[in-house]
Structure 1
Amino acid sequence: MPTEVRNNIALERFEITVDGEVAGYTEYQDTAGERAFVHTEVDPRFDGSDYARALVESALDATRREGLGALPMCRQVQRFIGTHPQYLSMVPHWARDRLGMPQ
């Protein structure tokens, strides 16, 4: 099924659509230099799919392109970064310490 991830700026969230239907989102709040990811949710109908991974990866890639750091307040984003260390550099050292992430 065709998927697309887009930044819904009005709702402050990245959304993943499947066949045009919103299947999940990750909400954020921007600060001066970072984007805090506060909640990620995928519709239960899409559990077991790889949509959550694709959503978080696309959101982090877009955040990096915008020159922002990432504050993974959401457990799902924390887990993703924990298993994809190429994104760890986006998380400020002070936040890594508070969130129990590697330095």
Structure 2
Amino acid sequence: MPVTITHNSADRRFEIYVDSELAGYSEYLDSDGTRTFHHTVTLPQFRGRGLAARLTAHALDDTSTQRLRVVPACWFVRDFIASAGDRYSHLVVR
């Protein structure tokens, strides 16, 4: 089962697909050099596969590449950053 992650900038979200079927997404808002992640969803039939973690890592890596700071308003993104040690902590607006 191929997994693909895309950045749908028109809808301001990162999307993860399994076999070309939407499996989840992470929505954000950009403002003044800051990207606020406010909602992350894994569709029920795709839960338990670690897809949300893969999606979040990709979204944060992309955000870092864009030289944006992060506000983790979504609980999943906040917990993911906390569990990743120093990998993403430098992105977080304090």
Q: TM-score, normalised by structure 1?
A: 0.88
Q: Report the alpha carbon displacement of residue 47 of structure 1 after superposing the two structures with TM.
A: 1.1
Residue deviations 1:26-68 (CA, integer Å, cap 9, x gap): 0000011110000000001011111000000000000000010
Aligned to 1:57, the other structure's residue is in SS state helix
- In the aligned structure 1, how far is the partner of 2:27 from the partner of 2:62? 14
- In the aligned structure 2, how far is the partner of 1:39 from the partner of 1:32? 19
2:42 is the counterpart of 1:30:
no
Amino acid at match of 1:29: L
* Structure with a larger share of its residues in helix: 1
Pairing 1:13-92 to 2, within 5 Å after superposition? 13-85=13-85, 86-92=87-93
- In the aligned structure 1, how far is the partner of 2:74 from the partner of 2:89? 15
Larger radius of gyration: 1
Which runs of 5 or more residues in structure 1 are unaligned?
A: 94-103
* Structure with a larger share of its residues in strand: 2
- The list of structure 1 runs, each at least 4 consecutive aligned residues, that deviate by more than 6 angstroms after superposition, is none
Q: Report the alpha carbon displacement of residue 23 of structure 1 after superposing the two structures with TM.
A: 0.3
Partner of 1:100: none
Amino acid at match of 1:61: D
